[in-house]
Amino acid sequence: MAQVNLKGKGAIVTGGGSGICLSFVQHLYRAGCNVLICDLGLHREALAWLDTIQKNTTDPSPGPRVVFLKTDVSDWKQLEQAFEGYAREFGGVPDVLCPGAGVYEPSFNNFWNDRDDSYYQMLRINLEHPLKMSRIAIRKWVQRSKPGIIVNVSSTGAQKPSMLTPLYGAAKQGVSNFTRGMARLQDMENIRVVAVAPGPTMSPLMYDHPEAMRFVDPEKDKLSHPDEIGRGMMAVAFDRERFPPGTVLEVTHPDRWREVFLLNDPGPGPHAFTSRKEEGMADVYAALDTDRKSAAQ
């Protein structure tokens, strides 16, 4: 793909404080794009990068800026406030939205360990937040007759159902189907909706959570680097000739990407799997055993 020039453009990226979405932020910034990072915090890698670009920026500078806004994406009010924050910092509405914040099931309250008080928080973060934030963006773009791009983050987990991570798989499948369903917005309103579907990635979502890393065999499993996913996100967002609207792009290899089709899809590539995930079934058996014992009390 040719170098993208996003000078004068702007983006909101949730989850941009670390990992895959931080990589997307970095690619957007290098292309000249202003970015509002909406996240609960900034990972040490993000802090180091922001420190570097600030040191390398002359003041006053006409170049792009990256601004952080603390955001809990499970709160709809804060999703609206993200757009208000963008308007304060950069003016108007963003050209690009990436509602990419997410959590992985073993490292969070999950189906088998349902400690949430009244709802599955994972579904609010991984599914409800990208849908609601997309709706806000679409409304704002249509009101202004403005084109826009939404880059969702699905997963190869949407293609391989797992008893161990049923909420994660259901959420990511929902993101994929939402993306495909919005394809017609391109012709109707010049709003492009696409998604990337990474496999296991060496990001803080993995290496900062031992309960997720226990499924990985470092000698057998290939984990993608976040920059590989970031490049895929740039391609699926801006390479209109190669990727039609509604594309869900699987990225499990630095260069060999493939579109995930709704029907007759061959399934994820070999790097989409981890060798030790079946060992996590012990958690399922333990939960079922607890259920059984509670009935006897």
Sorted by sequence, the CB contacts under 8 Å of residue 119 that are 6+ apart come out as none
Question: Using CA atoms, how far apart are residues 192 and 187, in angstroms rounded to an integer?
Answer: 9
Structure tokens of 229?
A: 């996913």
| Residue 61 scores a pLDDT above 90 | no
Closest CA to 69 of 83, 49, 48: 83
pLDDT score at 119: 82
- The whole model's pTM is what? 0.92
Contact 175, 134 (CB under 8 A): no
3-state helix, strand, coil split of the chain in percent (to 5) is 45, 15, 40
| Residue 211 scores a pLDDT above 70 | no
For residue 121, give Cα distances in angstroms to 72, 118, 230, 292.
Answer: 11, 9, 26, 25
| Residue 214 scores a pLDDT above 90 | no
pLDDT digit string (tens) for 218-260?
777 778 899 999 999 999 999 999 999 999 999 998 888 999 9
At residue 191, what are phi and psi to the nearest 5 degrees? -115, 120
More confident residue, 175 or 205: 175
pLDDT score at 166: 93
pLDDT score at 200: 86
Sorted by sequence, the CB contacts under 8 Å of residue 10 that are 6+ apart come out as 33, 34, 35, 36, 86, 90, 92, 94, 95, 96
Question: Using CA atoms, how far apart are residues 18 and 42, in angstroms rounded to an integer?
Answer: 7
For 270, which DSSP code? G
Contact 119, 89 (CB under 8 A): no
Contact 37, 101 (CB under 8 A): no
pLDDT score at 251: 96
Question: Using CA atoms, how far apart are residues 20 and 33, in angstroms rounded to an integer?
Answer: 17
Domain spanning 10-296, CATH class: alpha beta
The whole-chain average pLDDT of the chain stands at 91
Give me the residue spans of the domains in the chain.
10-296
| Residue 80 scores a pLDDT above 90 | yes
pLDDT score at 144: 98
Confidence of residue 209 (pLDDT cuts 50, 70, 90): low
Residue type, 134: S
Confidence of residue 206 (pLDDT cuts 50, 70, 90): low
pLDDT score at 221: 72
Sorted by sequence, the CB contacts under 8 Å of residue 196 that are 6+ apart come out as 151, 152, 153, 154, 229, 232, 233, 236, 248, 249, 251
pLDDT digit string (tens) for 2-37?
689 999 999 999 999 999 999 999 999 999 999 999
